[in-house]
A and B are shown apart, each in its own frame.
Chain A
């Protein structure tokens, strides 16, 4: 079975440019999560969706960040305009069923983002 697929694996761009990160969750999983990993803060939850609907976006750093899930098999995280402090590894994860916190999340391999 295919796991969570993220693209691109690496992204290097200049400050001010728009960045789009993509995620394909595991088929049948109702929850999709976006995380950011930094040395200082570890794994931070940015936003999560249930059945394509955003449930909690309180972790989104600021208005420059936006996330969408137009259908059950695709989600994007956009940063516009990007800044050097956005450099991090961004992970997407999905989990089966709804409302059960014992369901482990399945993570993609992440997108390493570098903003110059």
Chain B
């Protein structure tokens, strides 16, 4: 069973605009959620995390929002840059979503 779901396989945005990547989860016991970024031929690398007791965490251009009642979280990247083009994975307690491929066009 997929406890973490990323329903959008891909997203394309223009450089300088906001990118919003979404993630849904089913397990209410997750106490942390993490986002990872993956470039081709490399392993995922940690990007940002959020505790389940918070609703927002910000790190530079990256902000993660958590809506516990909806079991939904989102990653906002603003402004988006071409170097942000990668696959983004949402994870809760070692369980990963399928990933969303972000393409940022110059």
Contacts and interface: CB of A to CB of B under 8 A. Distances in A.
Interface of A: 4, 33, 35, 41-45, 48, 91, 93, 101-102, 104-110
B97 A109 contact: no
Interface in B61-96: 89, 93-96
Contacts of B46: 104-106
A42 B43 contact: no
B98 A41 contact: yes
29 contacts: A35-B96, A42-B89, A42-B97, A42-B98, A42-B99, A43-B97, A43-B98, A44-B96, A45-B94, A48-B94, A91-B43, A91-B44, A93-B43, A101-B32, A101-B93, A101-B94, A102-B31, A102-B32, A102-B49, A104-B34, A104-B36, A104-B49, A105-B46, A106-B46, A107-B36, A107-B44, A109-B43, A110-B42, A110-B43
